Amino acid sequence: MSSKILDEVDIKLLEILQENADLTYAEMAQRVGVSPSTVYMRIKKLKEQGFIKRIVAIVNPELLGYRLKALIFLSIDVKKFNKVVEALSSIPQIRDIYDVTGEWTLVCSLLVKDHTELSRVLDLVGSIDGVLNTSTLVVLRTIKENSKVLP
């Protein structure tokens, strides 16, 4: 984590990039009130300092046939934590893995095309050495989903 305090220009650039990273430096410069070269240098610096992890396209999964989202709650043998996390990380349908407090050890979100693929992934997860118990919730509809950090 960087100790640099962001100024108003940095924050505005981060807000713009979160909303529409497809804008040109000239368009961003006009919105922020600085030159395009300043925008370029600021974004470069924000990347180097780790404020911007990467700039990616947000793809619509449904248009690619990925219509089913689910959450898997896992109890695991904590002595095998790293091996379980490594095995889960290798499953492409698993999007996120969270180490959590409470009844469960880990929570994973996943995205699959259909119930058949979900069943295969659940069988795979259940077969991982160190997974003791799982519970799966299928997402019926997404009410709110947001990738932005800044409001």
pLDDT tens per residue, range 3-25: 478 999 999 999 999 999 999 99
Q: Which domains does the chain have, with CATH numbers?
A: 8-48 (1.10.10.10), 61-138 (3.30.70.920)
| Residue 31 to residue 28: CA distance in whole angstroms | 5
Tabulate helix, strand, coil % of the chain (nearest 5).
40, 20, 40
| Residue 80 to residue 5: CA distance in whole angstroms | 39
User: What is the predicted pLDDT for the residue at 151?
Assistant: 67
- Average pLDDT in the 59-85 region? 96
What backbone torsions phi and psi does residue 150 show, to the nearest 5 degrees? -85, 145
Query: DSSP per residue over 54-94, as a string?
Result: -------GGGGT--EEEEEEEEE-GGGHHHHHHHHHT-TTE
Predicted confidence band of residue 131 (pLDDT cuts 50, 70, 90): very high
